[in-house]
Structure 1
């Protein structure tokens, strides 16, 4: 990876058993329970974000949202299969190296990394600096896990942990880079 001047920021909800979505990508369990927690600090978090990075699977879910929730923020989608001109609301990049160049070129300070696979890839590449995980009080069993096997330990430092309305627990960690 090239040198970077931006921070990789994660803000994501999971079930207590660590799933970010059902196996079919559905977020019904998160939306219905998440409404109880209100904004959960999302608006404040987005003030730090200059651009959003998401993978194809997350984009496939998000593109169905009405209205498009990222109107004020550029979105880069990592995909080797999507066409570049498929959706004028997003920019398609083929890999993390290319995306990093885009962020550096635009002078980004905060990059919101979204989607389990993209978060995992960015963690492995050393591009995540902060993780904010909001744990929703539900077990959904099967689904898409936030974390898979990591090639080595990734040390974290607790920044804060708060209980939100509806019993959601939000924890922020800083990633310790060597």
Structure 2
């Protein structure tokens, strides 16, 4: 590990104003409302700092479904899909992991490299929060009220005190919040 710049687990995710990641049927089309030509909301700068990607199995499956069976993150990052299923063979640049999440994060943080990008879903966020393993939260709040769906924060974790780092407002109405532990 590079002691001058230790690896961090960073949750980089979007949610609706009322706290949802997706509709109950995994519809993400509401995210298109904030698309603007040439605007990536800091994503390119963020991804230059990371080289490892953590995601839950359900989110992995949703991404593959949306991308016609492809998982584009595997071309850019070392990818770990956290799953309860045992003995899944690694495939297409993806490592399936079903052990203790703390052991995986500690191992990754002990290796040289960039930061570790967590993209959800809610079960993985809850699991990482329960173990107090998320170092930084970058949450893009999309100006839409979905009314119902899959929540980002589903509870079942102890309180975590955070320190506000920044708040950026974009012309689309998206507000990006950045907090650290």
State the TM-score, normalizing by the size of structure 1.
0.86
Local SS of the residue matching 2:172: helix
* Preserved contact between residue 51 and residue 73 of structure 1 (Cα < 8 Å): yes
SS of the residue 1:167 aligns to: coil
CA positional deviation for 1:89 = 2.6
- CA-based RMSD of the aligned residues comes to 2.0
Give runs of ≥4 in structure 1 deviating > 3 Å.
Answer: none
Are the aligned partners of 2:126 and 2:155 in contact in 1 as well (CA < 8 Å)?
A: no
Contact 2:51 2:76 in 1 (8 A): no
Structure 1 residue 47, shift from structure 2 partner: 1.1
Q: Which of residues 104, 112, 116 is equivalent to 1:99?
A: 104
1:112 equivalent in structure 2 = 117
Contact residue 136 and residue 180 of structure 2 kept, 8 A? yes
User: Quick one: distance in 2 between partners of 1:60 and 1:72?
Assistant: 18
1:125 aligns with 2:131: yes
Work out the CA distance in 1 between the residues paired with 2:86 and 2:14: 26
Q: Does structure 1 conserve the Cα–Cα contact (< 8 Å) formed by 2:53 and 2:77?
A: yes
Corresponding residue for 1:85? 89
Q: 1:69 & 1:52 partners in 2: Cα distance?
A: 11
**CA separation of 1:171 and 1:29: change in aligned 2, threshold 3 A:** same
Shift of residue 156, structure 1, vs aligned partner: 1.0
- Matching residue of 1:76: 80
Q: In the alignment, which residue of structure 2 is the partner of 1:145?
A: 151
- How many matched pairs? 170
Aligned to 1:35: 35
Kept in 2: contact 1:36–1:165 (CA 8 A): no
> Contact between 2:102 and 2:133, CA under 8 Å: does it hold in 1?
no
